[in-house]
Amino acid sequence: MSEIDRLLREYDRARAYTDELWRDLSPDEVVWRPHENSSAIGWHLGHQAHVAHFMVRNLTAAEPSPDPELDGIMDSAQPERFRGALPTVDRLTLFRDTVAERVHARLGDIAGGRVAAPDQLTVVGRHLLIALINHEYQHDQWIGEVRSRDLGHELPPDPDTDLVGRVDGYLMLS
């Protein structure tokens, strides 16, 4: 198994952990904000996918956004009050799944040598996946805090892998 394939499995594990943090929540809980300058869990879910799309697009393959209307909403450079209304849970789920499929397709092409510069893109792809995995877990920390502290739900156990540990309280690839 190539390193890219191994990291894609860890990316899937990180996304599955995210799903454990939110899939059992009600739609109202997903869009609830602890205060006016705080983002909802749903925003973090869309933002995780938004960043994954833009990193893959900008570093490995130019392609259009799977949902251009979400780009401004999910951009962390946009102040909370200017982001607009969150999409439905179904639309967020579709966006996340579509981006993950694209991550797999593009990184699979890189791992399979089906790109113009396979060695160079393998290095880029490895670092890109590490960043995507750690970014997923970074936002999982906030989702988990709101889930447990504000919404009163139990947290799932940490992902079952030797490759992930905690740094400053955050799950990260070690």
CB atoms under 10 Å from CB of 64, counted, come to: 8
> Alpha-carbon distance 148 to 89, whole Å?
20
Specify the pLDDT at position 54.
96
pLDDT in tens, 46-90: 999 999 999 999 999 888 999 999 999 999 998 888 888 999 999
Specify the pLDDT at position 82.
83
Both tokens assigned to 142: 């906030």
Where do the domains of the chain lie, and which CATH numbers do they carry?
3-173 (1.20.120.450)
Specify the pLDDT at position 122.
97
Both tokens assigned to 106: 């593009």
Q: What is the pTM of this model?
A: 0.96
Environment class of residue 58 by beta-carbon count within 10 Å: exposed (0-12), middle (13-18) or buried (19+)?
A: exposed
Specify the pLDDT at position 150.
96
Amino acid at 38: S
The owner of tokens 């789920």 is 93
Where the chain has pLDDT below 70, the residues are none
Kind plus residue range of the DSSP H or E element containing 167: strand 164-167
